[in-house]
Amino acid sequence: MSLAYYPGCTLKTRARNLEEPAVASMKVLGLQLDEVPRWNCCGGVYSLAEDDLIHQVAPIRNLIRVKKQGKTELVTLCAFCLNTLKRANLLMKEDVEKRNTINSFIDEGLDYSGEVEVVHLLEVLRDYVGWDVVSQMVKLPLLGLKVAPYYGCTLLRPREVAIDNVESPVIFRDFLKALGARPVDFPESTRCCGSYQIVSSPDDIAEYARPILNSALSQGAEALVLTCPLCDYNLGEGQQELMKKNSGFRRMPQFYFTQLLALALGLDPKICHFELNYGKPESLLRIKNLLA
Amino acid sequence: MTKKASVTISPKKSCREFAKKVKQLSGQNLQLCYQCGMCSGNCPAAPNMDISPRRIIELARLGLEEEIAGSRTVWVCASCLACAVNCPRGFDLSKVMEALRLLTLRKNVDRVRPEDIPPEKRSELPQIAMVSGLRKFTG
């Protein structure tokens, strides 16, 4: 089985440690990720203004290309891309007037009305593969690894595009359990990391990171696991800043969920590119005998 | 957090046109809000704001454009939607914040100029940050 796959900009550069282990892991699980031909940037953020249709064009062009590819589902790894593509898709499904305007403007020779289903890789693992199958395929159970799943904003908000229950999500916890790790619930797992404020107010970023990291640490987490390259950057830079300011602040290794998947499936750790991670996760993995 | 304890409302200061534009751009019925403050309570950016999210709604529906214009609140909103999912009235404040940002940006006034970001920072920031930031802070 193969699914259309949208990487997004950051996964081809800084976040190769999110993409490469995902593609390799899905192959092992019997699912081919077919990159959408000629994909373009989704725009990063969903346009929130009623009259701003021009910014819907970028995500919708990608969805049209998926339709042309003959696929019905589109998989994303990046939480931001998921949100923007899924909301744009919903707009095309539900608003006839805007749909008509956008279709006549784009003129790709194919009308689009929200036929593609946009899904996150965690949903694919839950709904297409199944946690029991994931668990059976695990060769190196991540025993004893206490990881806090950080959802951030865009996997769960707004309600109409959430991949799980908005108030008490469990998808990430179930994923970690299937890999044999010990998920650590923490109250700030859905609190915003500051997002694009890093561009306009970089000095505020450490204070966005502080309550999130402290909350995970106080619940006994040894590492944080993420899906979004912007969360990774903000929390990573934020913790470095906090350690500089306060020598007692403890380092928190950060993983992408796909790295833990590849590791547990017994794939070559080189494809995980741990060298690109914040918080030195390799030393933690060595302590836990999960890395040579 | 709050900039001023009180504001004067007068027919001179209150601009109906402004309130109407906010409503049009956001698609939100500003009269839905009953000022319970769930938005402010749940907002992770509130400590950085000079006017609380709850108060922004009140000022917008009263058409007090000047009060909002000088505030940093709409620029520190990260559109995380913690306000929207917690609102008991089903009001989406993130859309009002966007409308208020656009009413400034569309006057050709950018909040962030790409050339003001130091070159070393520009090359270090991931694309996801640059694209999103420039989408929100430039017209």
Q: What average pLDDT score do residues A245-261 get?
A: 93
Whether the upstream peptide bond of residue A141 has omega within 30° of 0, thus cis, is no
Is residue A218 helix, strand or coil? helix
Question: Would the pLDDT of A221 be above 90?
Answer: yes
Smallest CA–CA distance from B49 into chain A, residue: A204
What single string gives the DSSP state of each residue in A23-89? HHHHHHTT-EEEEPTT-----SS----TT--GGGHHHHHHHHHHHHTT-SEEEESSHHHHHHHHHHH
Residue A126 falls inside a structural domain: no
Q: What average pLDDT score do residues A123-147 get?
A: 98
Share of chain A above pLDDT 70, in %: 100
Q: B8: part of which helix (H) or strand (E)?
A: none
Residues 6+ apart with CB under 8 A from B89: B32, B33, B34
Strand partners, A74: A4, A118
- Pick from A90, A69, A37, A17: nearest CA to A262: A17
* pLDDT per position as a tens digit, A188-198: 999 999 999 99
With contact defined as beta carbons under 8 Å apart, do A178 and A138 qualify? Answer: yes
Note whether B98 contacts A55, CB cutoff 8 Å. Answer: no
Q: In what order do the strands lie in the sheet with A146-149?
A: A182-183, A146-149, A223-226, A254-256
Query: By the CB < 8 Å criterion, does A219 face chain B?
Result: no
Helices (H), A69-146: 79-94, 96-106, 121-123, 131-137
Q: What average pLDDT score do residues A244-267 get?
A: 95
Query: By the CB < 8 Å criterion, does B136 face chain A?
Result: yes
pLDDT band at B3 (very low <50, low <70, confident <90, very high): low
Q: Which of A77, A99, A121 finishes a domain?
A: A121
Let me know whether A140 and A95 are in one domain: no
Which of A50, A153, A196 comes nearest B81 by C-beta?
A153
- Please, what is the average pLDDT of chain A? 97
Let me know whether A269 and A155 are in one domain: yes
Let me know whether A64 and A177 are in one domain: no
At residue A172, the pLDDT reads: 98
Let me know whether A143 and A40 are in one domain: no
CA angle at residue A260 from A290 to A15, to 5 degrees? 125
Count of the separate structural domains present in chain A: 2
* Structural domain boundaries, residue A87: 2-121
Question: Would the pLDDT of B1 be above 60?
Answer: no
Helices (H), A179-228: 197-200, 205-218
At residue B132, the pLDDT reads: 97
pLDDT band at B65 (very low <50, low <70, confident <90, very high): very high
At residue B7, the pLDDT reads: 77
At residue B5, the pLDDT reads: 64
Query: By the CB < 8 Å criterion, does B21 face chain A?
Result: no
Residue A115's CATH number: 1.20.1050.140
Q: Which of A121, A155, A187 finishes a domain?
A: A121
Let me know whether A94 and A220 are in one domain: no
Note whether A48 contacts B131, CB cutoff 8 Å. Answer: no
Let me know whether A177 and A112 are in one domain: no
At residue B11, the pLDDT reads: 74
Let me know whether A87 and A111 are in one domain: yes
pLDDT band at A266 (very low <50, low <70, confident <90, very high): very high
Question: Would the pLDDT of B2 be above 70?
Answer: no
Question: Would the pLDDT of B10 be above 80?
Answer: no
Q: What average pLDDT score do residues B72-89 get?
A: 98
Give the B window 50-69 contacts with A, CB below 8 Å: none
Note whether B127 contacts A9, CB cutoff 8 Å. Answer: yes
At residue A124, the pLDDT reads: 98
Is residue A188 helix, strand or coil? coil
Note whether A78 contacts B128, CB cutoff 8 Å. Answer: yes
Question: Residue A117: exposed, middle, or buried by beta-carbon count in 10 A (0-12, 13-18, 19+)?
Answer: middle
Let me know whether A44 and A169 are in one domain: no
Let me know whether A139 and A283 are in one domain: yes
Query: By the CB < 8 Å criterion, does A8 face chain B?
Result: yes
Question: Would the pLDDT of B16 be above 80?
Answer: yes
With contact defined as beta carbons under 8 Å apart, do B87 and A34 qualify? Answer: no
Tokens of A74: 């589109």
pLDDT band at A248 (very low <50, low <70, confident <90, very high): confident
Note whether A199 contacts B112, CB cutoff 8 Å. Answer: yes
Give the A window 20-49 contacts with B, CB below 8 Å: 41, 43-45, 48-49
Let me know whether A24 and A139 are in one domain: no
| Chain B CB contacts of A228 below 8 Å | 128
Task: Spell out a b/e string for A230-248, using b for 16 or more CB atoms within 10 Å of the CB, else e.
Answer: bbbbbbbbbbbbbbeeeee
Residue A235's CATH number: 3.40.50.11810
Query: By the CB < 8 Å criterion, does A13 face chain B?
Result: yes
Residue A95 falls inside a structural domain: yes
pLDDT band at B4 (very low <50, low <70, confident <90, very high): low
Q: What average pLDDT score do residues A48-64 get?
A: 98
More confident residue, B5 or A123: A123
Residue A81 falls inside a structural domain: yes
Question: Residue A196: exposed, middle, or buried by beta-carbon count in 10 A (0-12, 13-18, 19+)?
Answer: buried
At residue B15, the pLDDT reads: 87
CA separation for the pair B60, A150 (Å, rounded): 34
pLDDT band at A38 (very low <50, low <70, confident <90, very high): very high
Q: Which of A74, A98, A121 finishes a domain?
A: A121
More confident residue, A249 or B2: A249
| Chain A CB contacts of B48 below 8 Å | 201, 204
Note whether B129 contacts A233, CB cutoff 8 Å. Answer: yes
Residue A222 falls inside a structural domain: yes
Q: What average pLDDT score do residues B57-73 get?
A: 94
At residue A107, the pLDDT reads: 87
Question: Would the pLDDT of A7 be above 90?
Answer: yes
Residues 6+ apart with CB under 8 A from A115: A67, A72
Query: By the CB < 8 Å criterion, does B111 face chain A?
Result: yes
- Please, what is the average pLDDT of chain B? 93
Which of B75, B92, B126 comes nearest A229 by C-beta?
B126
Residue A13 falls inside a structural domain: yes
Query: By the CB < 8 Å criterion, does A168 face chain B?
Result: no
Residue A292 falls inside a structural domain: no
ipTM of the complex: 0.94
Q: What average pLDDT score do residues B23-33 get?
A: 97
Query: By the CB < 8 Å criterion, does A180 face chain B?
Result: no
Residue A52 falls inside a structural domain: yes
- Pick from B78, B48, B51: nearest CA to B62: B51
Where is average pLDDT lowest: A86-90, A220-224, B10-14, B120-124? B10-14
Let me know whether A106 and A240 are in one domain: no
Let me know whether A45 and A156 are in one domain: no
Q: Write down how long chain B is.
A: 139
Residue A249 falls inside a structural domain: yes
Residue A134's identity, in one-letter code, is V
